[in-house]
Amino acid sequence: MTKNRKQEIRTEVKRRRADADPRLLHEASKRAVQQFTELDAYKDTQILLAYVDAKREVETRLLMRQAWEDGKRVAAPRVDGSGIMHYYYIDSLQDLEPGSFGIMEPKKECPLCETEDGLLLMPGVAFDEHCHRVGYGGGYYDRYLEKHPGLVHIALAFEFQIFAGVPFEEHDILPQMIVTDLRILIPEEKKMKTLEEIGVCAREAEPVLRIMDTSKKNETLLHVAETLMSMSGYILAENAKDVARAKENGMNQGLIDRLMLNESRMEGIAEGIRQVAALNDPVGEVLSMKQRPNGLMIGQKRVPLGVIGIIYESRPNVTADAFALCFKAGNVVILRGGSDAFYSNLAIVKAIRTALGHMSIPQDAIQLIEDTRRETVQEFMKMNRYVDVLIPRGGAGLIRTVVENSRIPVIETGTGNCHIFVDESADFDMAADIIFNAKTQRIGVCNACESLVVHEKIVDAFLPVLKKRLDEMQVEMRGDDRALQAAEGLVPAEEGDWGREYLDYILSVKTVSGIDEAIRHINRYNTGHSEAIVTSDYANAQRFLNEIDAAAVYVNASTRFTDGFEFGFGAEIGISTQKLHARGPMGLEALTSSKYIIYGNGQIR
């Protein structure tokens, strides 16, 4: 039926073109091109990828000439012998020659255009007001845009090519805009959704995920991982925009490190999703089943939480991690990322939604709130009608704001003022290795060491050794009076240093008289995240494990292991520093609730 209807539309448009006065078509082309050149997308691009008009289409040659006058580069498409379309740069219309079906194409000697940052003119026979498109039937542009998703793609059309509705399929790639001789059309999905619309869409998707079987979830997650890698070039290009803007704005190196993606980190994201697919599905797990004296069988089983909202800052990997865990646990997720990672988050969500579409899963299983205004966060926190739980991930200010203002139940993820206590019996080499790793391996993460606590009996011998090691990474050490005496080159610490999460190459150093003072100091200033002791004394190790109040407590190991991946959970939704519902790295089980299932045979009370 769809195929027949498309053919009917193609026939009708062909008739309308044939009946149109050529002079009127030329005037309409000029109006459409004029509107096109007034778009911000046109003004901002340096490269225009444009097909050459034929068969009474809008005269794209007018647009090409204007682009050359405006100092832009122009590329036109050519289909090779295997049916693959590529774009080639042309400097004038003289660089064109007749190609397939008599359509003008770039000559063979024209250089290949491989940009991911241009404006592509999308052809079509017919469109509707929702920007669905009927093409010429070859699928060239859908395939090209799947491989180059970063390109802005806009259609040019005559008004008579706009129908009330045209057939479409879920996998069709829509123009981001249609410019006609009379108006500009924008598809609904490209218009920024209101929070109300996002909430409604989330609730509509939630029942589908709630009952989805494990094999379908796993198959979908594996396809999401594959799609993220196939679109990694696009994602990295978008991430580069965020990183460049961060550097221009003077963001510190630790936060830039959090923001930055590369091929290795993309593979890490994909591998995290694959690991989630390999994990046991907690949904449906029977936690208990017992028979009451009256014959009732009462059981308890795990169920999804429903719709999870996540507010986070400059870590685009959270976008993919959060989706994978929420999806595997049967939850819809609404994301509100920080403006610093805006382009990165958009790109990752686009890749995930593309994969969901391929798998016939509601794409609104993941939605990104694109409005980055702070007022939007305040409104989001009031959406308890649609959102079942809210998880903040970021700095202390963000977390405090959410905890204090949200109407939605909150799972609090804390900041990481992590300590390492070097006891008097510690092996110096082991201690130096652990501290060097915990402080310098990745400074911008919440499980990095921020504060060193040293037993006074070894401070004179140990601190110079550690200082020499940390100097390799130019770590600034801020010490108390006793530490300043033990090693040269330390900066005096202030009271505020003991509770500060630096996210930088800075380490505070506190000297203590023994295990008692170390425990008191750490419990006073820690954030309940991760704390470590380096010791050979079993009794001190056990006291530290029992008396330190934190989500993760280590003996002779780096705090950097507090991570869902390292704990065997796959990706994590965050590291909870509260004590209700979930604590520590939150894997799949933390994203479920439970309900009671009661079987009877007619019992009444």
CATH of domain 418-574: 3.40.309.10
CA–CA separation, 335 and 309 (whole Å): 6
Residue 405 has pLDDT above 80, yes or no: yes
Summary mean pLDDT of the chain:
91
Residue ranges of the domains in the chain? 2-190, 195-405, 418-574
Cβ–Cβ < 8 Å for 479, 508: yes
Burial class (CB in 10 A: 0-12, 13-18, 19+), 243: buried
Neighbours of 443 (CB within 10 A): 22
Cβ–Cβ < 8 Å for 463, 478: no
CA–CA separation, 603 and 298 (whole Å): 13
| pLDDT average, residue stretch 331-353 | 94
Cα–Cα distances in angstroms (integers) from residue 599 to residues 289, 302, 595, in the given order: 10, 17, 13
CA–CA separation, 116 and 527 (whole Å): 43
Digit-coded pLDDT (tens) for 56-70: 999 999 999 999 999
Which residue blocks in 385-510 are alpha helix, DSSP H? 396-405, 428-440, 459-470, 481-486
Higher pLDDT, 202 or 272: 202
- pLDDT band (50, 70, 90) for residue 191: low
- pLDDT band (50, 70, 90) for residue 171: low
Q: What share of the chain is helix, strand, coil (3-state, %, to 5)?
A: 45, 20, 35
What pLDDT does residue 436 have? 97
What pLDDT does residue 189 have? 58
Residue 570 has pLDDT above 70, yes or no: no
What's the one-letter identity of residue 106?
A: P
What pLDDT does residue 566 have? 86
Burial class (CB in 10 A: 0-12, 13-18, 19+), 404: exposed
Cβ–Cβ < 8 Å for 170, 360: yes
CATH of domain 2-190: 3.40.50.10420
Q: Which fold has domain 195-405?
A: Aldehyde Dehydrogenase; Chain A, domain 1 (3.40.605)
For the record, the structure tokens of 83 come out as 């049916």
- pLDDT band (50, 70, 90) for residue 503: confident
Percent of the chain with pLDDT strictly greater than 90? 70
Of 50-54, 139-143, 337-341, 494-498, the range with the lowest mean pLDDT is 139-143
Cβ–Cβ < 8 Å for 145, 153: yes
What pLDDT does residue 68 have? 96
CA–CA separation, 457 and 90 (whole Å): 75
Higher pLDDT, 82 or 387: 387
- pLDDT band (50, 70, 90) for residue 372: confident
CA–CA separation, 440 and 421 (whole Å): 17
